[in-house]
Amino acid sequence: MDNVIIGLEIHVQLNRLQSKMFCGCSTAYQNSEPNTHTCPVCLGLPGSLPVLNRKAVECGIKVGLALNCTIEEETLFYRKNYYYPDLPKGFQISQYDFPLATKGHIMILGDDGAERDIRINRAHMEEDPGRLVHAGTIDKAKYTMVDYNRCGMPLLEVVTEPDLCSPKEARTFLDKLKSILEYLDVFDGSLEGSMRVDANISLKGGDRAEVKNISGFKGVEKALSYEITRQKNLQRRNIKVVQETRHFDELRSITVSIRSKVGAHDYRYYPESDLVTLHIASWVPGIRATLPELPDTKRERFVKQYALADDHAKSLTSDIKLANFYEAVVAKAAPKLAAVWIADVLKGELNYRNLGIDEFRPEHMVDIVQMLEQKKITEDGAVEIIRSILDKKGGSPEEIVKSMGLGKAGDDAVQKAVREAVAESPAAVADYKAGSERALNFIVGLVMKKTRGKASPGEVHDLVKSEVEKC
């Protein structure tokens, strides 16, 4: 899309941590009763004081390094002051000057098919506010309830430069970011509200609108697409786009203007003196040493080490679990064949069922790839085995082969079936001789029927062709 400028602020819950940012409350509040994962500190009761979860800062630094950022010598926390019912202290402990990490970049595949760097402006730590539950839609709710379970969850806010050019690119960027975060084992994207996005979007020459608090990647794409349409229509009618904050209404897939939290957005940032300045430069070497291999590096290695096509390598490394699954399989099976079956077939079957890779055991994939290599099963048979396992019909691949009769027919049986089928189809043979290549398909179908699908259609086609030509 032309003339579209998008910048993102992504709030990532560091939800693989055990405890909240400034207190000992557990981070595992999902599926709990409202307001049960709280204490005087995260409720901001009078007299309570924050105590920094050092591990949260370590995770933040880890992410900063993975995003190719500069880690500051010293970092400190600020108070961001505003009144909102989800914020029990009337301020949020956040960062302002001297954030954890600045000036990074990550590479994505742009809409034009070329890879390019998206610049990261900064990454800083803050505490998550509570959650408001509106009775109805935000603009018409009669009342609102507050749940403070989420309050104090460690958040990392990643701010990009306005380098993205379309909703699709925004999505691509978010997928890449999520992949990196999961590689680092600091983030579980499967939990509700674990990644929330504020998107700044403008058309070239126009003012920008900020769409706040979009949950889910599909939501980001939808909200941005709606905003582009809205802003284009305003432009067409010669109405100025006003700089404002908007809310994405998921149910209606539209954005609506909301009253801003503070009139002029003056958050009165000032240093939080209940916490001390952290000299983090000395933490960096130790943390850098724990950095795992990241998606881009792993992808390059897969291409080199396993001689994979770049597409397959990219697909397999997009998700750390999938990459680990692949490497567990290739320890015992042919790398290229395994890549095809995992990236092209298994991934599709999983997506279709909305399942994760955890639902499939690497040993089973090893069996399937080995049986394919040894021509014990056909490709159709392999697909059947995968589906049977995912649909939880039970049994190992070998057992499924036996019980479903998926074993490949022996050469003799196939030859016999071919001879019979050709003899039974004089009309088709005549058509072929008259120049209709497609006439062979009828005979191939007949052979497949006779062998009950246990023959490979490609091989059968070749056999039928040579048999017909003998006639």
State the nearest-atom distance from the C-beta of 203 to other proteins, in Å: 28
Q: Which is nearer to other proteins, 42 or 455 (CB)?
A: 42
State the nearest-atom distance from the C-beta of 214 to other proteins, in Å: 22
Site for other proteins in 443-462 (CB under 8 A): none
Q: Which is nearer to other proteins, 128 or 367 (CB)?
A: 128
Q: Which is nearer to other proteins, 62 or 89 (CB)?
A: 89
122 lies in the binding site for other proteins (CB under 8 A): no
State the nearest-atom distance from the C-beta of 44 to other proteins, in Å: 5
Q: Which two tokens stand for residue 456?
A: 């490979």
91 lies in the binding site for other proteins (CB under 8 A): yes
Q: Which is nearer to other proteins, 2 or 83 (CB)?
A: 83
- 38 phi and psi angles, rounded to 5 deg: -135, 160
Site for other proteins in 256-275 (CB under 8 A): 264, 266, 268, 270, 273-275
Q: Which two tokens stand for residue 193?
A: 């509200």
* Binder of other proteins out of 19, 81, 102, 215 (CB under 8 A): 81
Which positions ≥6 away from 23 have C-beta within 8 Å? 39, 41, 42, 50, 51, 152
* Binder of other proteins out of 49, 135, 242, 423 (CB under 8 A): 49
* Binder of other proteins out of 51, 133, 242, 355 (CB under 8 A): 51
43 lies in the binding site for other proteins (CB under 8 A): yes
88 lies in the binding site for other proteins (CB under 8 A): yes
Site for other proteins in 401-440 (CB under 8 A): none
* Binder of other proteins out of 36, 90, 411, 433 (CB under 8 A): 90
Could you tell me which stretch among 39-47, 153-161, 396-404, 450-458 binds other proteins (CB under 8 A)?
A: 39-47
The pairing of beta strand 131-134 with beta strand 115-127: unpaired
Could you tell me which stretch among 10-18, 38-46, 300-308, 413-421 binds other proteins (CB under 8 A)?
A: 38-46
Site for other proteins in 123-152 (CB under 8 A): 144, 146
* Secondary structure, 3-state, the chain: CCCEEEEEEEEEECCCCCECCCCCCECCCCCCCCCCCCCCCCCCCCCCCCCCCHHHHHHHHHHHHHCCCEECCEECCEEEECCCCCCCCCEEEECCCCCCEEEEEEEEECCCCCEEEEEEEEEEEEECCCEEEECCCCCCCCCEEEECCCCCCEEEEEEECCCECCHHHHHHHHHHHHHHHHHCCCCCCCCCCCEEEEEEEEECCCCCEEEEEEECHHHHHHHHHHHHHHHHHHHHCCCCCCCEEEEEECCCCEEEECCCCCCCCCCCCEECCCCCCEECHHHHHHHHHCCCCCHHHHHHHHHHHHCCCHHHHHHHHCCHHHHHHHHHHHCCCCHHHHHHHHHHHHHHHHHHHCCCHHHCCHHHHHHHHHHHHCCCECHHHHHHHHHHHHCCCCCCHHHHHHHHCCECCCHHHHHHHHHHHHHHCHHHHHHHHCCCCCHHHHHHHHHHHHCCCCCCHHHHHHHHHHHHHHC
State the nearest-atom distance from the C-beta of 209 to other proteins, in Å: 22
Q: Which is nearer to other proteins, 5 or 43 (CB)?
A: 43
Q: Which is nearer to other proteins, 48 or 370 (CB)?
A: 48
Site for other proteins in 331-370 (CB under 8 A): none
44 lies in the binding site for other proteins (CB under 8 A): yes
79 lies in the binding site for other proteins (CB under 8 A): yes
328 lies in the binding site for other proteins (CB under 8 A): no
* Binder of other proteins out of 2, 31, 33, 46 (CB under 8 A): 46
Could you tell me which stretch among 87-95, 246-254, 279-287, 459-467 binds other proteins (CB under 8 A)?
A: 87-95
Q: Which is nearer to other proteins, 139 or 373 (CB)?
A: 139
Rounded to whole angstroms, the Cα distance separating 407 from 384 reads 11
State the nearest-atom distance from the C-beta of 304 to other proteins, in Å: 48
The residues binding other proteins (CB under 8 A) are 40, 43-52, 79, 81, 83-85, 88-91, 144, 146, 264, 266, 268, 270, 273-276
